[in-house]
Amino acid sequence: MKRIIILLVLLFSFVEANAEEKRIAVLPFKNLMQKQDFNYLSEGIAATITAKLGSIRGIAVVERSQLEAAFKEMGLQKAGVVDEKTAVKAGKILGVDIVVIGEFQVAGDQVRISARFVEVQTGKVVSTAVETDFFQKIFMLQDAVAFSLAESLQKALKIVATGAESEDVKKEKATMASMPPGTASEYYSKGYDYKWNKKDTDKAVEYYLKAVSIDPNHENALFELGYVYNEKGEYQKAIGYYSKVVALNPRAKDAFNNIGLAYSRLNDQQNAEKWYKKSLDIDPNYAIALNGLGLVMWKTKKFKEAEVLYKKAIQSDPKYHMAYYNMGILYEDMKQYAESKDYYRKTIEINPGYVNAMINLGIILETKDKNFSDAEYWYKKASEASPDNHLAYYNLGFLYSNKEFSKYDIDKAIGYYQKVTTLKPDHDLSYFYMGNLFYNDKKEYPKAIAAYEKAIQLYGKDPAYYNNLGLVYEAQKEYAKAEGYYRKSIEIDPSYGIAWESLGYALYYQYKDDETKEAWKKAVSLGKTSAKDALKKYYNISDVPPESTAPLATNLSASEYYSKGYDYKLNKKDTDKAIEYYLKAVSIDPNHTNALFELGYVYNEKGEYSKAIEYYNRVLAIDPRAKDALNNIGLSYESQKDYVKAESYYRKAIEVDPSYGIAWESLGYALYFQHKDNEAIEAWKKASSLGKTGAKDALKKYFNITD
């Protein structure tokens, strides 16, 4: 990662004399004057020092969200701590070696910042730093304090500077020195041109930095640096530059808002909420901040609060399409599909090229309303608006292969899947679904084999790919080959009942009767009722115990039985009774996806994973894009320590919805337990960016990653 050199900030690379890492917590600084207008500096100064100390190798700085928990446990307000005893107490709760505390004081146009290290074990003050200057230079003072503390930390903890500058630092210095003479405003303008017109953010950063080196108070250049780093995903750097903007201009609502955005992307929702509210203190009708705060509420499952904020954002700016779009997502999560569709349509009215809203609207129309014609219209609109968006064509492939659709057309469906693979050659699911269409519908077995083999080549860990390839060979009466692929499927997933049932038929047609019986009995034990029928038909075996479906006295509809089951599960905590009601609902309506899903959920909780998988698969047979069912099958396999199979299902869920944070977090665990550390880190980082706090905790716990 490129390092940036800022005026008056000297960053050293440090290595500890011993290998033990020191943990440090930087607490909010106390506002000694108690002037409300300056309260934002309490966190701002601490954030700057945190960033600077965090650049020292051998030092682990506690993240802000952990401080929140410590303060809550101690019953303290976050107004700053200057008492060494309190600092020691906080340090012990946080499990750190050293705590940084301090205060600031504003008098006229002058500001003084004082800071000191407190050693948690002894309670002694290790070192101090004091800086005073004009208020307009507040961010320079913050940097000076941070640098002074870093120097003293080097001495106190016997941390030795490596001395030599990194190649990145040398390169940046050389680049800035080679720039032609100019004013700060000229460099800023060039940076702005590189960012917006030439789309070269790295070059833009160089010019913005040069502008700031000439004029440290160049608010626009500082803001743009914050903006660029936010977009690059370097959120702590972004926060640092935005903090300098608000120090110069305490009413810079955009900077306050964007600090909130950075914290939200870091999945620090508490700090995100705080900074969005600071922006709204300046302008209560600021639609962008209202929308951002709404997202925080949505991520923390406070749906009603999110709804109020989105509506206020829309009222403040009726043309702000993101508020409408986020409202659509919110209502979809709340299963209020009519309202969700309405807001997706409003999003598109305001922004006719917004593809995500088109695809989301199409999926609801197709899967919930069975309004296939309108779904087709929106998928096609999405493909026209963004011809390179493979998800639009993927959904069209599903739609045209649906026999309920009046325009059902296998050739068109295959054409759309082929379009997906042209745009995204590693899209194994499109090859798989093409294989299904060639096999089931067109009976073009060589093409089906080629498609399945390509899917396996791209992703060889999905048992369905091998099972279906076996079915093609079985259809051609090549039973030995079919048997081989069924066994490969079972090797990947020993609890895959479909493959056990398929294997039974391949063995039966090879006259391997004893093996056939065992395969079908295994399939029955894994929930495959049709295997039970085969045992009865071919061997007159009927002593395989059926699933309990004890009749209930009350004569209700499928939905009413489902509702009662849900009540027993959620409120009465009687899962066995819940199962009875869910089973009754399914006996009335075999396609009741909610009841089927809940049966899967309850059996998962009971540890009966094979049954859970069977019911989730029944959900998928009705809706192949049921992401929750795909994710939960993964959880079933993970519970059985079959991490490879779990991984495959988590990836399927992500394919359906790339922004499905739960599946990204689940995938991280499946990868971690396979010792795929780099992939696990990337999955958890993605989950964290999508609001999954558990992923952030996992990164800290397993890899000590806090940024």
Q: Please give the Cα distance from 707 to 704 (Å, whole number).
A: 9
For 505-515, how does the pLDDT look when each residue is reduced to its tens digit (9 = 90+)?
999 999 999 99
pLDDT of amino acid 528: 81
Helices (H) and strands (E) in the chain, counts: 35, 8
Tell me, what's the pLDDT at 506?
96
Angle between helices 235-248 and 138-156 (to 10 degrees): 130
Distance CA 381, CA 387 (A): 10
For 73-92, b where at least 16 C-beta lie within 10 A, e where not — what string? eeebebebbeebebbbbbbe
Classify residue 61 by its DSSP letter: E
CATH class of 14-168: alpha beta
d(CA 239, CA 247): 12
Q: pLDDT category, 295, cuts 50, 70, 90?
A: very high
Rounded CA-CA distance 104/383 in Å is 56
Please provide residue 402's backbone torsions phi and psi, each rounded to the nearest 5 degrees: -90, 115
What per-residue string of b and e applies to 121-146 under the rule 16 or more CB within 10 Å gives b? Answer: eeeeebbebebeeebebbbbbbbbbb
Top-confidence residue, 405 or 707: 405
Report the range of poorest mean pLDDT among 131-135, 229-233, 623-627: 131-135
C-alpha to C-alpha distance for 575 and 572, rounded to whole angstroms = 8
CB neighbours of 691 closer than 8 A, spacing ≥ 6?
267, 269, 298, 299, 300, 661
Q: Which of 36-40, 326-330, 477-481, 540-544 has the lowest mean pLDDT?
A: 36-40
398-539 fold: 1.25.40
pLDDT tens digit sequence for 109-121: 777 788 888 888 8
- Residues 477 and 489: beta-carbon distance below 8 Å: no
More confident of the two residues 679 and 20: 679
pLDDT over threshold 60, residue 450: yes
Class (C level, CATH) for 559-703: mainly alpha
Give the C-alpha separation, 172 to 667, whole Å.
38
Classify 112 as helix, strand or coil: strand
pLDDT band, very low/low/confident/very high, at 2 (cuts 50, 70, 90) = very low
What is residue 79's predicted lDDT score, i.e. its pLDDT?
54
Same-fold call for 14-168 versus 398-539: no
Measuring CA to CA, how many Å separate 411 from each of 183, 320, 395, 401, 442?
63, 40, 15, 9, 9
Give the whole-angstrom CA distance, residue 702 versus residue 675.
11
φ and ψ of 30, to 5 deg: -85, 135
Give the integer Cα–Cα distance in Å for 336 and 593: 17
Sequence spans of domains, the chain:
14-168, 179-284, 398-539, 559-703
Tokens found for residue 518 = 């065992």
* Cβ-proximal residues to 660 (8 Å cutoff; 6+ apart), any chain: 627, 631, 653, 654, 690
Please check the confidence at residue 250 and state whether its pLDDT lies above 70: yes
Backbone angles phi, psi at 658, to 5 degrees: -60, -15
Distance CA 479, CA 567 (A): 48
Comparing 92 with 596, which gets the higher pLDDT?
Answer: 596
Count other C-beta atoms under 10 Å from residue 193's C-beta: 14
pLDDT at 594 over 80: yes
The matching CATH number, chosen from 3.80.30.20, 1.25.40.10, 1.10.1520.10, 2.120.10.30, for 179-284 is: 1.25.40.10
For the stretch 63-99, pLDDT in tens is: 665 666 666 666 555 555 657 777 788 777 777 888 8
Question: Looking at per-residue confidence, does 667 or 43 come out higher?
Answer: 667
- What does the angle CA 158 – CA 130 – CA 71 come to, to the nearest 5 degrees? 80
Query: Does the pLDDT at position 60 exceed 80?
Result: no
Tell me, rounded to whole angstroms, the distance of Cα 369 from its chain centroid. 28
Window from 16-25, 265-274, 340-349 with minimum mean pLDDT: 16-25
C-alpha dist (Å) from residue 248 to 134, 221, 241, 580: 11, 12, 11, 65
Classify residue 101 by its DSSP letter. E
Task: Write the CB contacts of 97 (distance below 8 Å, at least 6 apart in sequence).
Answer: 22, 23, 24, 91, 119, 120, 121
Helix (H, G, I), strand (E, B) or coil at 332: helix
CA distance 396 to 398: 5
User: How far does CA 514 lie from the centroid of its chain?
Assistant: 49
CB 118 within 8 A of CB 90: no
Q: Is the pLDDT of residue 150 over 70?
A: no
Q: What was the pLDDT predicted at 266?
A: 81
As a whole number, the mean pLDDT across the chain is: 83
The pLDDT, as a whole number, for residue 511 is 95
Integer Cα distance of 468 and 650 in angstroms:
20
